[in-house]
Amino acid sequence: DTAVSQTPKYLVTQMGNDKSIKCEQNLGHDTMYWYKQDSKKFLKIMFSYNNKELIINETVPNRFSPKSPDKAHLNLHINSLELGDSAVYFCASSRSKGEQFFGPGTRLTVL
Amino acid sequence: QQQVKQSPQSLIVQKGGISIINCAYENTAFDYFPWYQQFPGKGPALLIAIRPDVSEKKEGRFTISFNKSAKQFSLHIMDSQPGDSATYFCAARGWDSNYQLIWGAGTKLIIKP
């Protein structure tokens, strides 16, 4: 009965590779998010998305792109990975303007 | 103006003591102020939240105090326990942040037995 799930939990890859992180929620929420948490624990919103609108944090490089095949999924694609992309990435979901529920995180390490 | 400033960065409290974490904001359009708790290796989870029409909200050992005129809010943890050791984030949002949460930098709380 996991609410928000992410795969993989750990991802180790080389610079320049392209990778994806998957997120699924079974809460029936209409809005999903991607966050980046760096080594100092800063939480940075990257995207929020519902079936009507994608809001992109303007500081996010266009190498990052969210893809939503349906309301329950919001995957994160990252092209040409860089060392600075190493972080923990969290998916979250909510009803519009409601409490956000977070997934367990994906620790990405770029070598 | 969209920032939420959180302090302290880290805090050590003896078991049974009161833990206090403070946040300040500038944007008067903010109308929702949650606190999230994050344990190592886990995602943040909502702990308690307040709206600006009340000055205090209490849930068990956790209390939010809200000062609208000073644009400050704080989390008080009474009778702090080792199991409360975690990172705590304050956040805020309003219509002009597109209702996106604006996050504080986090406070690492350690409760010593």
- The whole-angstrom separation of Cα A69 and Cα B83 is 39
From the list A46, A23, A48, A43, the residue with the least C-alpha distance to A33 is A48
Residue B8: pLDDT above 90? yes
From the list B30, B34, B47, the residue with the least C-alpha distance to B83 is B47
Residue B2: pLDDT above 90? no
State the pLDDT at residue B80: 98
Q: pLDDT tens digits, residue range A62-78? A: 999 999 988 899 999 99
* pLDDT class of B25 with cuts at 50, 70, 90: very high
Q: Are A19 and A11 in contact (CB under 8 A)?
A: yes
For Cα atoms B70, B73, B79, give the angle at the middle one, nearest 5 degrees. Answer: 140
State the pLDDT at residue A6: 97
Q: Which of A25, A56, A102, A106 to mutate to test the interface with B (most CBs of B within 10 A)?
A: A102
If one compares B36 and B99, the residue with the highest pLDDT of the two is: B36
Say which of A42, A55, A90 has its CB closest to residue B100.
A55
Average pLDDT for chain B: 95
Taking an 8 Å cut-off on Cβ atoms, the answer to whether A90 and B103 are in contact is no
State the pLDDT at residue B98: 75
- The whole-angstrom separation of Cα A63 and Cα A75 is 14
For Cα atoms A42, A3, A109, give the angle at the middle one, nearest 5 degrees. Answer: 40
Q: Are B7 and B73 in contact (CB under 8 A)?
A: no
Rounded percentage of chain B residues whose pLDDT exceeds 70: 99
Q: pLDDT tens digits, residue range B81-99? A: 999 999 999 999 988 777 7
State the pLDDT at residue B70: 95
The amino acid that residue A93 corresponds to is S
State the pLDDT at residue A98: 86
For Cα atoms B76, B68, B62, give the angle at the middle one, nearest 5 degrees. Answer: 15
* pLDDT class of B1 with cuts at 50, 70, 90: low
Taking an 8 Å cut-off on Cβ atoms, the answer to whether B106 and A4 are in contact is no
Classified as helix, coil or strand, B96 is helix
The amino acid that residue A101 corresponds to is F
Q: Are A51 and A30 in contact (CB under 8 A)?
A: yes
Element counts in chain A: helices (H) and strands (E): 0, 11
The verdict on A52 touching B (C-beta cutoff 8 Å) is no
User: Which residues of chain A, if any, have pLDDT below 50?
Assistant: none
State the pLDDT at residue A96: 80
Q: pLDDT tens digits, residue range B100-112? A: 899 999 999 999 9
